[in-house]
Amino acid sequence: MITDTTALFIARQLASGALVTLEITVMAEALVLVLAFTVALMRLSPWRLVRWVATLYVEVLRGISALVLLFYLFFILPLFDISLSPMATGVLGLGLTFSAYGSEIIRSALVNVHQGQRDAVRALDFGPVIALRRIILPQALPVMLPPLGNQLVELLKTTSLVSLITLTDLTFSGAQLITTLGHQTLIWCLVLVGYFLMAWPLTRLVRWYERRVTAWRTT
């Protein structure tokens, strides 16, 4: 039914698509972490205006979906003479959307560090940067990593949206292969397997880390 050359062609196209998917995921996640930390800290700022701007950022980006934002960036920005490559558009759109959720995760982890710790920091007269770096953050990190890890898996799956702004990720490669070759069921199944192989190990890793971190807690 399928010749060797065809099978090789399919494998090559899907593999390069998967590579693009991973590329976008890594770059978007970097952006997410930077933005999420910034916004989380802004939300905890003593200045009301800063807090307000950050809250607006979070509410708006959580209110529109990633796809809406991607389309907006892809079609409307060029009309303002801002020309981003599809890759940059994809990374930016995904980065912005997930940073809104990420900032909430980070913020709640920072806030939930035991009040006693924060009182001690005050009492011992630590500067804010040192306090964050040496006391608060190390304690907040184990709490925020599992949800951030889950978010990374979500991000990986959501990259399939960039196929709609013509980036040749795994989904797009699959769709183009079907146009050329047919074999709908086979190729979509291969695409599903591809995503599964990328997402599942990550999920297990997060679960393992989560269990390790909460091991000291009695259920």
Partner 1 sequence: MEFDWAFAWSITPDLLRGLLVTVQVVVLGFVVAVVLGLLLAIAQRSAWAPIRAACAGYLSFFRSTPLMVQLYVLFFALPLAGLTLPPFATGVVGLGLYYAAYIAEAFRGAIEDIPPGQWEAALALDFDRATTWRRLILPQAFKPLLPVLGNYLIGMFKETPLLAVITIPELFQAAKQVAGMSYRYTEPYTLMALMFLAISVPTSLLFKYLEHRRHA
Partner 2 sequence: MTRLNAFSLPAFVGSACLLASLFSTTASAGLLEKGRTGGLTAGIANEQPYAYIGTDGQVTGANVEILKAVLAPLGISKVETPITDFGSLVPGLAAKRFDLIGAGLFINPQRCKVIGYSNPVTRSGGAFIVKAGNPLNLHSLKDVAQNGKARLATQPGSNQVQEAKASGIDTAQVVLFDKDTEALAALEAGRVDVVYFPDAEIISLLKKASSPAVERALPFEQILDAQGKPTWNYHAYGLPKNDPAFIQAFNTELAKLRASGELLKILQKYGYTENELPAADITAEQRCAL
Q: Is 184 in the site for partner 2 (CB under 8 A)?
A: yes
Q: Burial of 33 by CB count in 10 Å (0-12 exposed, 13-18 middle, 19+ buried)?
A: middle
Residue 168 contact partner, candidates partner 2, partner 1, none, CB within 5 to 8 A by sort of partner: partner 2
Q: Is 191 in the site for partner 1 (CB under 8 A)?
A: yes
Distance in angstroms (rounded) separating the CA atoms of residues 125 and 95: 36
Q: Which one of the spans 36-44, 61-69, 185-193, 198-206 is the region binding partner 2 (CB under 8 A)? A: 36-44
Distance in angstroms (rounded) separating the CA atoms of residues 99 and 82: 22
81: left (phi over 0), alpha (psi -120 to 50) or beta: left
Q: Is 215 in the site for partner 1 (CB under 8 A)?
A: no
Distance in angstroms (rounded) separating the CA atoms of residues 171 and 163: 6
Short-list 171, 28, 205, CA closest to 101:
28
Minimum gap (Å) between residue 166 Cβ and partner 1:
14
Distance in angstroms (rounded) separating the CA atoms of residues 188 and 178: 9
Residues 30-49 contacting partner 1, CB under 8 A: none
CB 43 within 8 A of CB 51: yes
CB 100 within 8 A of CB 39: yes
Q: According to CB under 8 A, which one of 22, 44, 145, 186 is a site residue for partner 2?
A: 44
Q: According to CB under 8 A, which one of 65, 112, 180, 214 is a site residue for partner 2?
A: 180
Taking residues 79 to 118 in sequence order and writing x for each that binds partner 1 by CB under 8 A, - otherwise, the string is: xx--------------------------------------
Chain positions contacting partner 2, by CB under 8 A: 5-6, 9, 12-13, 31, 34-35, 37-38, 41-42, 44-47, 50, 75, 78-79, 82-86, 88, 91-92, 118, 121-122, 127-129, 131-132, 136, 164-166, 168, 175-176, 178-182, 184
